[in-house]
Structure 1
Amino acid sequence: MEAGAAILLESVRKICPTLTDEELLAFVSKFTFEEFHRKDFFLQSGKVQKALGFIVNGLVRSSYVDNDGNEITVGFYYEGDYATHYPAFITQQPSKYSIQCLEPTVMACLSYENLQWIYENLPGFERYGRLVAGEILNRQQARIESFIFQTAEERYLDFVRHHSALFNRISVSHLCSFLGIERQSLTRIRQKLAHK
């Protein structure tokens, strides 16, 4: 998994370029590399997330089941993202979300215990952890605000702007669920935009 380690380290260097090679090697030594098949679960609702998953290759979907039994998609994560329900991971409480692979996926996995070891022994990574956590929380806040302040069409356009590479990798039903709209509404939005 040397290629996976290189991708992980490249991602870390982009965020924290001042970390030394020794620090980076100690950091990556705490990860295990795992392969998942399409439809495999990285995290199941009701379970405690044992590890953060940095996606080296592949695509996963985060979802929950609402009170009516509908599965609601809340996020898509792909190469360079961390797959996590971060608040539940940090507190080691059961998650309300599931994270499932939409494609064969390779993840660099960091256990909760190894994350604590890194923070205690590699202080330079506290900044990295803070920045990654901040990015995760910013995305969650942006999603919440999209439902408060944006129309369905604006949410769709936002998705097109920021995630155009995902269109051929996700199903229409998962996209509709993520946007909070019915399939017919998505069709109407696409037709309207095609005629602009």
Structure 2
Amino acid sequence: MESGAVLFLQSVRKICPDIPDYELSQFESKYTFETLNKKDFFLQSGKVQTAIGFVVSGLVRSSFIDNDGNEITVGFYSEGYYATHYPSFITQQPSKYSIQCLEPTTMVCISYENLQWIYGQLPGFERYGRLIAEEILKRQQTRIESFIFQTAEERYIDFTKHHSALFNRISISHLCSFLGIERQTLTRIRQKLAHQ
């Protein structure tokens, strides 16, 4: 867990380099590590997310079940990202989403109660929390707008550009679900791009 803690604290410092050391050491006492196996759930639909999870190693997928019973993938979170259904977490209301491990995964977890304590006692972390929340919001907005303004091909090209490291780690069915396309469409897009 030593290297996981180092990676996590480095990511905090990268976002907020001015956080004082004494705040950082108090912060360290407020998080825990959770190790999950492939297929384990970090969050299940219908449950309240009691802790936010920073992925130290591994990969998780966020999804929901639509009205027709289909499982729709809405996000992949690998090393260096927070895995959360943020509205559920901050309101402490049941989530409509599940977050499941695609690989054995280790996370740094901060409970809702501990996060409130951190915000109240460690002023430097209020800024950190705001910047993380903004990043989560930007990711969600980008996804929503991709379905409004981009074609399936453009969404695929965008994914290859920004998430190329995930290609060998996710299944074709999860990728198609995330992009909102059928498998045959993905095949056609790949063939077309290969011949350009």
- Which interval holds the TM-score relative to the shorter structure? over 0.9
Decide whether the 8 Å contact of 2:20 with 2:124 is kept in 1.
no
Residues in 2 aligned to 1:161 and 1:24: alpha-carbon distance in whole angstroms: 34
- The aligned counterpart of 2:54 is 54
- The aligned counterpart of 1:125 is 125
- The aligned counterpart of 1:29 is 29
Q: Deviations over 1:34-54 (max 9, x none)?
A: 100000000000000010000
Residues in 2 aligned to 1:101 and 1:151: alpha-carbon distance in whole angstroms: 29
How many residue pairs are counted as aligned between the two chains?
A: 196
- The aligned counterpart of 1:187 is 187
Q: Deviations over 1:119-148 (max 9, x none)?
A: 000011000000000000000000000000
Tell me the CA shift for residue 4 of structure 1: 1.3
- The aligned counterpart of 1:66 is 66
Q: Deviations over 1:67-87 (max 9, x none)?
A: 000000000001000000001
- The aligned counterpart of 1:13 is 13
Q: Deviations over 1:4-38 (max 9, x none)?
A: 11111000000000112211111121110010000
- The aligned counterpart of 1:80 is 80
- The aligned counterpart of 1:45 is 45
TM-score with structure 1 setting the length: 0.99
Percent identity, please.
Answer: 79
The code of the aligned residue for 1:108 comes to V
- The aligned counterpart of 1:101 is 101
Runs of at least 4 residues of structure 1 off by over 4 A?
none
Residues in 1 aligned to 2:40 and 2:141: alpha-carbon distance in whole angstroms: 27
The code of the aligned residue for 2:3 comes to A
Residues in 1 aligned to 2:74 and 2:103: alpha-carbon distance in whole angstroms: 17
CA RMSD of aligned residues (A): 0.5
Structure 2 residues not aligned, in runs of 5+: none
Residues in 2 aligned to 1:103 and 1:24: alpha-carbon distance in whole angstroms: 30
Question: Which secondary structure does the structure 2 equivalent of 1:168 belong to?
Answer: helix
